[in-house]
Amino acid sequence: PAHDPAKLAAARAAVALVQDGMKLGLGTGSTASIMVEVLAERVKAEGLSLRCAATSKATADLAESLGLRIESLDQIGWLDMTIDGADEVDPDLHLIKGGGGAHLREKIVAAASDRMVVIADPGKVVDQLGQFPLPVEVLQFGFETTRTLIRRALSDLGLGDHDVLQRLKGDDYWVTDEGNWILDLHLQAIPDAPALAHALAAIPGVVEQGLFLGMCELAIIGKPDGTVVKLNR
């Protein structure tokens, strides 16, 4: 199937950064999936030897189906580079991720990497984070308590009363690879992302939230004409 040309351009530019022998983190989502396909083609064409850790079962399955060798993060240990998508990228390369429900493992893999490279189409570039609903992974135990504590934290931060909606997959609740649920916070704008990240992390039932602050070192924004813009922090 023909891929979105902007996503394909970004994916190609990121794969061009991969060197033989690298230990890589493979992201999740539609852009990262295109990257996995392009990477698999390059590995086959050039006989590269890579060690890859996936950020989701979906990415692991796709990668293995294309002949890439997937190992657990613990088997590999530390990674040279993680290539992943994003839902929003702000001017400081702070991100919102989690649209694909994988931000917990994505953040762990990114944290285990020397560098995190984000690949995105122009629609992901924003002046301020928050238009995209912020995903928060929460335990199923005490779910309503956690939702109440999240609402209280938003109010304490002066973020007003916004929808804090449980993510659905069809008629069911979305369940992550770790068996947790996801709440999407419809905030419209997040003026102080560090304060919000800090407040959410303090809530016991919150496992991880989709703000990636200071983790992305290079964002490759693909254009429909096949060119890319590279944003460095």
Nearest to 164 by CA among 148, 184, 187: 184
Distance CA 170, CA 11 (A): 29
Out of 106, 144, 178, 208, the active site residue is: 106
What are 136's strand-pairing partners? 183, 209
Smallest distance from ligand DER to CB 82, Å: 11
Smallest distance from ligand DER to CB 203, Å: 21
Residue 106 annotated among the catalytic residues of the structure: yes
Residues in region 11-50 near ligand DER by CB under 6 A: 27-32
* Greatest pairwise CA separation for the chain in angstroms: 55
Residues in region 103-142 near ligand DER by CB under 6 A: 103, 106
Smallest distance from ligand DER to CB 19, Å: 23
**Which 8-state DSSP code applies to residue 55?**
S
Cα–Cα distances (Å) from 88 to 40, 64, 82, in that order, read 26, 28, 17
45 membership: H or E segment, kind and range: helix 30-46
- Asked whether position 85 contacts ligand DER by CB under 6 A, the answer is yes
Choose the binding region for ligand DER from 100-108, 109-117, 182-190, 220-228 (rule: CB under 6 A). Answer: 100-108
Q: Which C-beta is closer to ligand DER: that of 54 or that of 102? A: 102
Q: Which C-beta is closer to ligand DER: that of 116 or that of 154? A: 116
Q: Helix or strand or coil: residue 99?
A: coil
Active-site amino acid positions: 106
What is the binding site for ligand DER (CB under 6 A)? 27-32, 84-87, 97-100, 102-103, 106
